[in-house]
Structure 1
């Protein structure tokens, strides 16, 4: 049987949580929130119970018991199945080993950035860099604090995120330097285009190449 590609990180998070032990959905959600998995995996909580239902439907998790606490509604406790465990491990292997096309919103913005003027882009990049520097400092402090309590192994996703943000900040800072110093190739043509609406032959050719890029 051919396995599915990773299509829903929330499903992976649920399976990984149930791999530890059986629990009811409310407890799963509480653990995921406490561990910051909503940030790491971009979890949309509105679809949480739908994903739980779909995992049960496909045989990856199963109801193992139901319990009631006083007058509260009955809660179903779920456990991971053998098929669910195999699926989860296959997904983890795929995520760690295979390159996948990712489309961050920042990349989308960069692709149409020339429609703004250079001065506005400089201002926007400065705002982004300030936010990045603040986030980097906060994440580094939090990581340092957590390393006192937890082994590094369980904090690698936070360490990776810090490395990515640090690299992004360095790149944004370098682009800002080129824009503010005037050393960015094509900057004069870009500024002319924004001021007059006229594109040089070089800019027109580059735009045409960009529109046909695969």
Structure 2
């Protein structure tokens, strides 16, 4: 886990889930594993992140409650700062993350939380950045044998695939083919 817990990839979906409804750590860990099987989301990690988010003022804890014979569980909910932090993380994930990263995929999962025009602007910025990355070929790569530069081909393939996916998504948003919540 990064020393700065806010940089953990699980923070965005935790904030997103809490934006849907207040929840306790066990519920969040279960939902994270169900929706994002590729992420390691243990209850202890989620609990640690919730404590960090609480200290940062992004979530508030309710008094522990007990249901039936279950142990008391602290339920967390977003604060106004948490809502703003969530939106900032979505925007940053769309704009600043590396190609083919889990953080970009998680930001895409919450794209609909932004106004459509803001989503288009951020995705357009990313597409422009990817085009620049695609055009920038490392010096000397052309002089090497293909076998020694396969990673460059792989990288360019990733950039091209993500660029094409973003272009198709932008087209769907602009044409209103993708239903957007008001």
TM-score, normalised to structure 2, is: 0.49
Larger radius of gyration: 1
- The structure where helix makes up a greater share of residues is 1
